[in-house]
């Protein structure tokens, strides 16, 4: 099957919700300058009587499964918007905007959705916009623009300024300053909520009456708006654990007895994240299990050389969520040789996990173009789309990104055709992680290699004072002619939103992170870097955050072997003066 072509919006037609094909059949063309309120007269508000039903506006450009799951988890049914009248008859409308601004406006402007939305909001009907669902309410966006928005609130959506070293996208758990009573954000002062975005709106005199909270990230930006029954938030309540569920619960108006009162928190800024990683593969009996290697070797080397089995992926992910993990990552470690869409259990793992885990989920392994035995072609975009549809918030690309970066460095040309470029264009770079699997290579002098070296803290076996970090593919099986430094810089240019930085030498050793490597990479790029490999004690986490600019630390074995609970890691970090999210219990 050939991948369907991208539309002018950049949204592949196969990614769209059932709404989209019908909309595109109207023959309407998108006019970015078209105001949203031309043909309102024939529309009328008609409230539905179904109280337990939430109407969801999903225009099909990304993962709204998490929002669906959170709404269902809170005991509500979902009615999908199929036509503008469904917006007007909604009792409560949730608009979890995802993807790019222009693509969203294109869809909304077709077939009167934008008009219906404006009318619904102007009539003060209960509305909750999330992320892009907030930004679209403003006048215009600079994202691939200028592009006109719904124009209901004065203000322009602009990109965070990374010129002075601010890491963009703004990914992670940050706090908000409440500026007015909104009814739904009462409990979140001093608590962390999850943000993931590169664009934001600044407060101004013209929009100040709408603002209910601001957030500080390099500058103060609008994190929520409220007027009457109209609410919109820049962060993701559906990914903000119990704090986020409490916001959704309040919006959905469940009885107050069910609403837990959150303790007032002390959070004040962007938290360093602690991520739990589950390396997943099929064992020799054909079961999908969580495994863990020593320097990437996952076999026991006794009892028949079996794949180490550390538990069931869905159960472990659920446990880590309860224990306070800020994110959960699944790495399908044999994805490089198996076709991931053939790996239905992995998709099922994502679906089941996302029903009960309300923090971000990343999935990696095997994301690349693929032609199966019968000659059928699958694009990497299709593979990623299936992962997003199944509940992933971010996808992680390993081997394929190495080959893409090599090609880019050789030719100097961005083809736009690589997995990395295509997925980040359609889903946004905040949804694309590049996973690097480097191996330390000692050298006597930086002149010995063409790649960037570091002066190592501990000299090599023959007294070598320098090392470069060689990238590998296929789960560390093949070394490539590119260094981690060169790769990191190249993939940032190609559209990666985050780097997951492993180290084969440290993996599973419990001796601490490779500080030399993490310092090198986190200072080379302006996107967030996740330090990975080697955690064996709580002190290793504080060390990596104090000595490097890593935004997050990922660990596997220490948690799987139950050596240290996630909460103990966080309490230690707090004692060391490092801000972390303490989940509400
Ligand atoms: O190349 O796009 O198919 O992606 C494959 C993905 O699977 C990559 O992200 C790669 O890192 C991962 N992978 C491949 N083989 C292995 C293996 O272990 N044999 N796992 C593997 C890598 C590394 C970490 C690990 C940390 C923390 N695992 O994610 O969890 O090192 O471990 P620790 O805290 O116990 O030290 P593609």
Specify the CATH number for the domain of residue 170: 3.40.50.880
Task: Establish whether the linkage from the previous residue to 306 is cis, with ω within 30° of 0.
Answer: no
- Above 50 in pLDDT, residue 13? no
For strands 127-131 and 93-97, give the pairing: parallel
pLDDT at 193: 96
Query: Is position 437 annotated as part of the catalytic site?
Result: yes
Q: What is the pLDDT of residue 258?
A: 43
- Nearest atom in ligand 1 to the alpha carbon of residue 329 is 29
Taking the centre of ligand 1 as the mean of its atom positions, its distance from the CA of residue 21, in whole angstroms, is 39
Question: Closest Cα to atom 7, ligand 1: which residue?
Answer: 333
With contact defined as beta carbons under 8 Å apart, do 258 and 249 qualify? Answer: yes
The pLDDT value recorded for residue 373 is 75
In the prediction, which pLDDT does 333 show? 82
- 307 and 373 in a single domain? The answer is yes
Which of 252, 281, 310 terminates a domain? The answer is 252
- Ligand 1 centroid from CA 475, angstroms: 7
- pLDDT recorded at residue 267: 74
450: confidence class by pLDDT, cuts 50, 70, 90: very high
Whether residue 154 is found in the same domain as residue 288:
no
Q: Residue 438 forms beta bridges with which residues?
A: 471
Which numbered atom of ligand 1 lies nearest the CA of 509?
A: 36
- One domain, residues 81 and 212: yes
Establish whether 264 is a catalytic residue.
Answer: no
Q: Is the pLDDT of residue 49 over 60?
A: no
Q: From the CB of residue 438, how many other CB atoms can be counted at a distance below 10 Å?
A: 29
Please check the confidence at residue 70 and state whether its pLDDT lies above 70.
yes
Shared domain check, 289 and 177: no
Q: Quick one: pLDDT band at residue 235, thresholds 50, 70, 90? A: very high
Q: What is the band of 15 on the pLDDT scale with cuts at 50, 70, 90?
A: very low
Q: Does a structural domain hold residue 282?
A: yes
Distance 340 CA to ligand 1 centre (A): 16
Residues 6+ apart with CB under 8 A from 41: none
Output the pLDDT for position 144. Answer: 79
> Ligand 1 centre from 488 Cα, in Å?
17
Assess whether 196 and 285 both reside in one domain.
Answer: no
Mean pLDDT of 3-23: 33
pLDDT value at residue 372: 76
Among 279, 492, 505, 514, the one annotated catalytic:
279
With respect to residue 585, please indicate whether it lies within any of the assigned structural domains: no
By three-state DSSP, how is residue 334 classified? coil
> Is residue 400 situated within a structural domain?
yes
Confidence at residue 26, expressed as pLDDT on a 0 to 100 scale: 28
Same structural domain, 291 and 388? yes
- In this structure, which long-range contacts are made by residues 225-228, counting pairs with CB atoms below 8 Å and at least 24 apart in sequence? 225/134, 225/137, 225/153, 226/180, 226/182, 226/183, 226/184, 226/185, 227/124, 228/124
What is the pLDDT confidence band of residue 62, given thresholds at 50, 70 and 90?
low
- Ligand 1 atom at shortest distance from the alpha carbon of 557: 35
Residue 77 domain-assigned?
Answer: yes
pLDDT band at 339, cuts 50/70/90?
low
**Same domain as 362, residue 226:** no
Nearest CA owner, ligand 1 atom 15: 475
| E strand residue ranges, 52-113 | 53-56, 77-80, 93-97
More confident residue, 440 or 387: 440
Burial class (CB in 10 A: 0-12, 13-18, 19+), 233: buried
**% of residues, the chain, pLDDT over 70:** 87
Whether 269 and 578 have beta carbons less than 8 Å apart is answered as: no
pLDDT at residue 561 above 50?
A: yes
For range 317-334, the mean pLDDT: 94
197, 223, 252: which is the final residue of a domain? 252
pLDDT, position 285: 78
Q: Is residue 448 part of a domain?
A: no
Residue located via tokens 């940050």: 174
pLDDT in tens, 459-513: 999 999 999 999 999 999 999 999 999 999 999 999 999 999 999 999 999 999 9
How many A from CA of 113 to the centre of ligand 1? 44
Predicted pLDDT at 107: 85
**Any domain includes 300:** yes
Higher-confidence position of 450 and 256: 450
**What pLDDT shows up at residue 420?**
96
* Per-residue DSSP letter, 185: S
| 402 has pLDDT over 80 | yes
The residue out of 252, 281, 311 marking a domain boundary is: 252
Full domain range(s) for residue 242: 47-252
Whether residue 356 is found in the same domain as residue 497: yes
Average pLDDT, the chain: 86
Whole-number Å distance between alpha carbons of 301 and 307: 9
| Number of Cβ within a 10 Å radius of residue 79 | 17
Based on the domain organization, do 305 and 408 belong to the same domain?
Answer: yes
State whether 118 and 247 are in the same domain.
yes
Mean pLDDT of 432-461: 97
Across the range 145-167, mean pLDDT stands at 93
Residue 71 in this model has a pLDDT that exceeds 70: yes
Q: Can you give the pLDDT at residue 47?
A: 40
CA dihedral 489, 494, 497, 503 (to 10 degrees): -40
Look at residue 388 and tell me whether its pLDDT is greater than 80. Answer: yes
Catalytic residue (one of 58, 106, 139, 238): 238
Q: Return the pLDDT at 378.
A: 86
Q: Check whether 96 has a pLDDT greater than 60.
A: yes
Ligand 1 atom 19, closest CA: 296
- Best of 282, 320, 398 for a ligand 1 pocket test (most atoms within 8 Å of beta carbon): 398
Measured in Å, residue 333 CA sits from the centre of ligand 1 at: 6
* Residue 213 confidence (pLDDT) above 60: yes
Whole-number Å distance between alpha carbons of 87 and 119: 9
Could you tell me the distance, in angstroms and rounded to a whole number, from the CA of residue 154 to the centre of ligand 1?
A: 46
> Are 120 and 93 in contact, with CB atoms under 8 Å apart?
yes
Q: Which residues line ligand 1 (CB under 6 A)?
A: 277, 279, 292-293, 296, 298, 331, 333, 335-336, 364-367, 396-400, 435, 437, 475-476, 502, 507-508, 532-535, 555-558
Answer whether residue 89 is part of any domain.
yes
Greatest Cα pair distance, the chain, in angstroms, is: 81
Q: Kindly state the average pLDDT of the residues 83-89.
A: 95
Determine the pLDDT at residue 394.
Answer: 94
CATH number at residue 537: 3.20.20.70
Q: Active-site residue among 86, 106, 118, 131?
A: 131
Please report which residue ranges of 81-172 form alpha helices under DSSP H. 84-88, 101-109, 113-122, 132-135
Least confident range of 125-134, 331-340, 398-407, 528-537: 331-340
pLDDT band of 539, cuts 50, 70, 90:
very high
- For the ranges 376-380, 560-564, 573-577, which has the lowest average pLDDT? 376-380
- What pLDDT sits at residue 341? 65
Under the banding of pLDDT at 50, 70 and 90, the label for residue 303 is low
**Residue 108 sits in the same domain as residue 191:** yes
Q: Which residue lies with its CA nearest to atom 10 of ligand 1?
A: 475
Q: Is residue 42 part of a domain?
A: no
pLDDT band at 16 (very low <50, low <70, confident <90, very high): very low
The arithmetic mean of pLDDT across residues 78-105, rounded, is 90
pLDDT band at 343 (very low <50, low <70, confident <90, very high): low
Atom of ligand 1 nearest to the CA of 510: 36
Which mutation among 276, 328, 435, 510 tests ligand 1's pocket best, with the greatest number of atoms within 8 A of CB?
435
Instruction: State residue 11's pLDDT score.
Output: 35
Q: What is the mean pLDDT of residues 435-460?
A: 97
Residue 4 has pLDDT above 90, yes or no: no
**Pair (334, 416) in one structural domain:** yes
Q: State yes or no: is 181 an active-site residue.
A: no
pLDDT at 48 over 50: no
Check pLDDT > 60 for residue 453.
yes
Domains of the chain: total: 2
What average pLDDT does range 152-181 have in this prediction?
Answer: 93
pLDDT at 25: 28
């Amino acid at each position: 099957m050939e991948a369907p072509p991208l539309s002018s919006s950049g949204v592949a037609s196969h990614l769209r919700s059932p709404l989209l094909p019908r909309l595109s059949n109207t023959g309407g063309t998108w006019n970015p300058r078209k105001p949203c309120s031309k043909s309102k007269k024939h529309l009328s508000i008609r409230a539905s009587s179904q109280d337990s039903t939430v109407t969801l506006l999903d225009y099909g450009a990304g993962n709204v499964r998490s929002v669906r799951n959170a709404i269902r988890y809170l005991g509500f049914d979902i009615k999908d918007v199929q036509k503008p009248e469904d917006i007007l008859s909604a009792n409560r409308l949730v608009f979890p905007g995802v993807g790019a601004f222009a693509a969203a406006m294109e869809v909304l402007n077709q077939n009167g959705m934008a008009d219906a939305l404006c009318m619904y909001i102007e009539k003060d009907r209960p509305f909750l916009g999330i992320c892009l669902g907030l930004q679209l309410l403003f006048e215009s966006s600079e994202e691939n623009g200028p592009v006109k928005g719904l124009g209901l609130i004065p203000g322009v959506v602009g990109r965070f300024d990374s010129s002075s070293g601010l890491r963009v996208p703004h990914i992670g758990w940050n706090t908000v300053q409440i500026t007015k009573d909104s009814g739904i954000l009462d409990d979140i002062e001093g608590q962390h909520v999850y943000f993931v975005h590169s664009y934001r709106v600044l407060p101004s005199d013209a929009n100040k009456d709408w603002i209910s909270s601001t957030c500080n990230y390099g500058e103060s930006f609008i994190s929520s708006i409220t007027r009457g029954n109209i609410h919109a938030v820049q962060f993701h309540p559906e990914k903000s654990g119990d704090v986020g569920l409490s916001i959704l619960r309040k919006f959905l108006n469940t009885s107050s007895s069910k609403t837990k009162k959150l303790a007032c928190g002390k959070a004040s800024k962007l938290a360093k994240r602690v991520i739990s990683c589950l390396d997943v593969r099929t064992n020799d009996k054909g079961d999908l299990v969580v495994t863990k290697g020593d320097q990437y070797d996952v076999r026991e080397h006794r009892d028949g050389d079996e794949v180490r089995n550390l538990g069931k992926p869905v159960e472990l992910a659920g446990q880590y969520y309860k224990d306070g993990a800020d994110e959960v990552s699944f790495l399908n470690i044999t994805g490089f040789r198996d076709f991931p869409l053939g790996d239905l259990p992995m998709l099922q793992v994502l679906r089941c996990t996302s029903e009960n885990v309300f923090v971000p989920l990343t999935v990696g392994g095997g994301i690349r173009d693929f032609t199966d035995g019968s000659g059928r072609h699958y694009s990497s975009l299709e593979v990623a789309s299936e992962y997003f549809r199944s509940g992933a918030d971010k996808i992680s690309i390993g081997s394929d990104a190495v080959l893409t970066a090599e090609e880019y460095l050789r030719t100097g040309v961005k083809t736009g055709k690589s997995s990395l470029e295509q997925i980040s264009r359609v889903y946004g770079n905040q949804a694309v992680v590049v996973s690097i699997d480097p191996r330390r290579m000692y050298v006597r002098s930086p002149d010995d290699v063409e790649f960037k070296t570091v002066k190592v803290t501990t000299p090599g076996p023959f007294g070598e004072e320098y090392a470069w970090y060689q990238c590998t593919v296929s789960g560390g099986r093949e070394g490539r002619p590119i260094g981690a430094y060169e790769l990191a810089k190249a993939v940032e240019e190609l559209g990666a939103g985050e780097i997951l930085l492993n180290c084969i030498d440290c993996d599973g050793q419990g001796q601490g992170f490779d500080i030399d490597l993490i310092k090198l990479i986190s200072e080379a790029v302006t996107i967030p870097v996740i330090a990975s490999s080697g955690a064996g004690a709580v002190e290793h986490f504080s060390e990596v955050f104090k000595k490097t600019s890593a935004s997050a630390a990922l660990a596997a074995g220490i948690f799987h072997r139950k050596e240290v609970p996630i909460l103990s890691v966080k309490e230690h970090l707090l004692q060391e003066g490092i801000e972390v999210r303490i989940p509400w219990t």
